[in-house]
Amino acid sequence: MTYNDVLKYIDDLYGMLGYDLGLDRMEALMEEMGNPQEKVKVIHVAGTNGKGSVCSFISSVLAKQGYKVGVYTSPHLEKYNERFVINGKQISDEDFVKHMEYTKNMCEKLVAKGIGQPTVFEVVTAAAFNYFAEEKVDYLVLEVGLGGRCDATNVVKNPLVSVIVSISMDHMEYLGNTLSAIAFEKGGIIKEGRPVVLYAKEKEVYDTIKKICDEKHSKLYAFDDSNAVVTKEELGGTEFNFKSEYCNYDGIKIKLLGDYQILNASEALLACDVLKKEGVELSEKSIREGLENARWSGRMEIVEKNPLVMLDGAHNIDGIHMLAQSLKKYFADRKLTLLIGILGDKEYEKMLETLMPLASKVVFTEPNSTRKWHVDAIGEITKKYNVEIHIEKDIEKAYKLAKSITDEKDAVICAGSLYLIGALYAVADKD
C-alpha cells in the first residue's frame, strides 16, 4: 500500500461504517494482533475539552525527564501522522503505511471469522498501539476518542493513572443529554484499583466520578478552579500557583494561552504527582520545564502578525465560553474579526451568541466536513447582531478576506471547528 492507498482505505471505511461505539470488535482485533496495548505503560486521558493539551503537558514532562514517550491523540489538523508522536516527532509516512497495512490485514482475518469490520477509529487506534509497542516507548499518553466507556482506547485494562479533564455537553447523541450521563461515559476509563485525577467544576460531574471510583476502589485526586491562582498573565505566557491537599507548587510557568490552559496544566501537574506516587521517577525540574515547554497546535495559537491571527479549536459551547473569556482578557484593546466555521450538529446559535458581541466583523465559512453548518442558513440567525457580516464558503478565500478587512493593529480570531482549524493551519503564513 502507498500513503494515498491508506487514506482511500480510511475514507472508504468511514463512508461505510461511520461511528459505531463498542469494544467487541476492538478487543477481538487486539487479540488477533497479540494485544500490543498490554506491552506499554499507559496514562489514559478522557473528558470533553482539554484532553489534547493535558496529553501535551504530561508527555512534555515525561520527555524532559528523559523517557521515550508516545502520544496518541485525535483528531489531526493536517495529517494522520500527527496522531502518532514519540518525543515530539510524528510517525514517518513509511511507518504509518506499514502499521496501517498490517492492521488492515488483521481486520480482514476478523471479517473472515465472521466478526464485524472495525471502524476507522478502531483501525487507526489498533495501528497506534502496534506502533508504540514496536517502538518500545517507556510510556504512552493516550487520548480517548469519543466518550470513554465504549471508546476503542478503552481496551487498556491497567493504566498507570486515568485522567478526566473538563466535562461539558458535547456529542449528546452518543453520550447522553445530562452532565451526569456524559460523566458516566467518560468515567468508563476508570479501572479497578487504579488512581484517577479529575477536574470537576460541577457537583454532578464530581459525584458521578466519585461513585465510580468508590465502586472500583480507585483513589480519586480531584481539584477545581480554586486550586490554581494566576500571578502573571500576558500573551507571552502565564504564571500560576497550584495548591491542593495533594501537592503545592508556586511559580509554574506555561506558554499555552487561555484560562482553560491553566486548569489543563494544573491537571497535568497533579497527574505527574500521582505518577510519582506510582513509582515513576520525575524531578521537580522536569515537571516545571516540561509544563513550560509544552506546545499544542491550534489552541489559542498565534500564527501571524500584522494583523495578529489566532487559531483556536473551540468547537462546543463550553469551549466557546472559555475562548470568549480569554478574548476579553488578551484582546480588550483590539477590534476583532471572527472567522467562523461550525458543524451543523453543534449548538451553533449559542456559540454565536457568545462570540458575535465581541466582534466588529465576522466572516462565515464552511468546514471541510459533511457535517458542516451551511452558511446559506445564517441570515435569520445573525441579523439581530450589529456586526459587519461576510460570507465566503471557500476556506482559503475566507481567510484572506478576514485578513484584508482587519487593520494591522487589530486581530483575526479563527474558531468553531477543528476541521476549520486544520484547513487554516495549512494556508496560514505561520511565523
Q: Evaluate whether 419 touches 298 at the Cβ level (below 8 Å).
A: no
Q: Between these two residues, 40 and 376, which has the higher pLDDT value? A: 40
Q: Model confidence over 179-207: pLDDT tens digits?
A: 999 999 999 999 999 999 999 988 999 99
Bridge partners (DSSP) listed for residue 338: 362, 413
Q: For residue 288, which amino acid is it? A: R
Query: Both ends of the chain: CA-CA distance in Å?
Result: 35
Distance CA 426, CA 139 (A): 30
Task: Tally Cβ neighbours within 10 Å of residue 128.
Answer: 30
Domains observed in the chain: 3-293 (3.40.1190.10), 301-427 (3.90.190.20)
pLDDT band at 104 (very low <50, low <70, confident <90, very high): very high
pLDDT band at 171 (very low <50, low <70, confident <90, very high): low
Q: What is the pLDDT of residue 431?
A: 47
What is the dihedral angle through the alpha carbons of 249, 250, 252, 257, rounded to the nearest 10 degrees? Answer: 110
pTM: 0.87
Bond into 307 cis (ω within 30) = yes
Closest C-alpha to 69, from 270, 286, 230, 259: 286
Task: Tally Cβ neighbours within 10 Å of residue 179.
Answer: 18
Q: Model confidence over 214-259: pLDDT tens digits?
A: 999 999 999 999 999 999 988 888 999 999 999 999 999 999 988 8
Q: Between these two residues, 167 and 65, which has the higher pLDDT value? A: 65
